[in-house]
Structure 1
Amino acid sequence: MSVQERKQRERAERERLIVATARELAERQGWGAVTTRRLAERIEYSQPVLYGHFRGKREIIGAVALEGAAEMAAAVRAAARAADGPRARVTALARAYLDFAARNPAVYDAMFQLDGGLAFAQEDTPAPLKDAFAALLENLAEVAGAGDRPGPFTEVFWAALHGVATLTRAGRLPPEYAEGRVELLVDRFAVS
């Protein structure tokens, strides 16, 4: 292994450590607890080293969001693959999405609530975000109605899931109706 390759590997390892530490801290204490000073202390590197990887907290949030998008896409695809039939796939997809949001609240916030400097629905949208949307699209296209365009259909379904996830976490929806909400959502969207 060349010196250049070793340095690149070490740099990538430091970035993974920074992102993992930020994610862990955010999940335990919230994003307010994630500061460059605290991260530098926890990873045992100086703040200038941290700034050599990320320009600040915003970019760290963006890195956590991209990691989360890849994980959510994998979870949604795995759940959909395990289901039999279009309706069951949509149900499994909805549950996987909501479970991911509930199990990873800080990551979910990084993906959709906080400013990580990421572009959505644009030409320069990062690949993991495009792939997360594609994971939904590929499983919803088959249940979109004949007159529905799969893209907007998927956007509306995603918006409904996001609303349920966000309102549930905020305590604004009664928990006893969680399963009924999924069923109602699937009833309205998986009609073909």
Structure 2
Amino acid sequence: MGISERKERERAQREQRIIAAARNLAERDGWSSVTVRRLAQEIEYSQPVLYAHFENRDAVVGAIALEGFGELAPALRASVRKGASPAEAMEAVATAYLDFAFERPALYEAMFVLPTGLRFAKSDTPQVLRETFGAMMAVIKPFSADPEIATETFWAALHGLAELERHGRIRAAFRGERLRRIVAMFANASKC
């Protein structure tokens, strides 16, 4: 292995260590605790080393969000059991989405709430974001003449439910009923 390959590997390892430390801090103490200074202390690197990898905190959050999308897309696809009806598939994806939001709150917040610099629905949208959207769109397509807009609406409804419940604005005990109603709205709409 040459020097440049070794340096690139070490750089990637440092970057991954920064991301892992930020994610752990956010999960343990909340996102307000994730600062460049705190990260530097946590991983025993100087702040300039962190800035050599990430322009700012938002860039770190963006890297974590990308990891999250890399975890969410397969979870959504895996939630649909073989032989499920289209409505059952939609409900499975909706359930998996909300489970993800509640089981990984800090990661979910990085993906969908905090500034990241990630661009959605643009020509430069990262592939992993497209894959996550595609996993949702796959269950909406059977019911929609315009699956992109319908998927955006479906996603917005799920995100709204997640955020309202995460912050105690709606009763968690009725999550299943709300999901059934969302599925029924999309499944029974005449080619929305």
TM-score range (shorter-chain normalised) is over 0.9
Q: CA deviation at 1:81?
A: 4.5
Q: Which amino acid aligns with 1:152?
A: I
What residue ranges of structure 1 are gaps of 5+ in the alignment? none
Quick one: structure 1 residues 113 and 2, their matched pair in 2 at CA, closer, same or farther if it must change by over 3 Å?
A: same
1:25–1:34 Cα contact (<8 Å) kept: yes
What residue ranges of structure 2 are gaps of 5+ in the alignment? none
Q: CA deviation at 1:125?
A: 1.6
2:81 & 2:66 partners in 1: Cα distance? 23
Match of 1:134 in 2: 134
Mapping for residues 59-138 of structure 1, pairs under 5 Å: 59-81=59-81, 84-138=84-138
Encode CA deviations 1:79-121: one digit per residue, 9 max, x unaligned.
1245622111111100000001111111111111111111121
Q: CA deviation at 1:39?
A: 0.7
1:80 & 1:58 partners in 2: Cα distance? 33
Task: Give the structure-1-normalised TM-score.
Answer: 0.93
Match of 1:178 in 2: 175
Write out the 4+ residue segments of structure 1 that deviate beyond 6 Å after TM superposition.
none
2:85 & 2:15 partners in 1: Cα distance? 41
Instruction: Give the stretch that moved more between structures: 75-84 or 166-175.
Output: 75-84
1:17 & 1:82 partners in 2: Cα distance? 38
Encode CA deviations 1:36-89: one digit per residue, 9 max, x unaligned.
111111112111111110011010011111111111111101112456221111
Mapping for residues 154-165 of structure 1, pairs under 5 Å: 154-165=151-162
Encode CA deviations 1:164-185: one digit per residue, 9 max, x unaligned.
0010101000111111111111
What's the Cα RMSD here?
Answer: 1.4
Match of 2:20 in 1: 20
2:83 & 2:65 partners in 1: Cα distance? 27
2:2 & 2:81 partners in 1: Cα distance? 42
Mapping for residues 147-158 of structure 1, pairs under 5 Å: 148-158=145-155
Q: Which amino acid aligns with 1:166?
A: E
Match of 2:163 in 1: 166
1:121 & 1:83 partners in 2: Cα distance? 31
Task: Give the structure-2-normalised TM-score.
Answer: 0.93
Question: Between Structure 1 and Structure 2, how many residues are aligned?
Answer: 189
Identity over aligned residues, as a percent? Answer: 50
1:99 & 1:53 partners in 2: Cα distance? 32
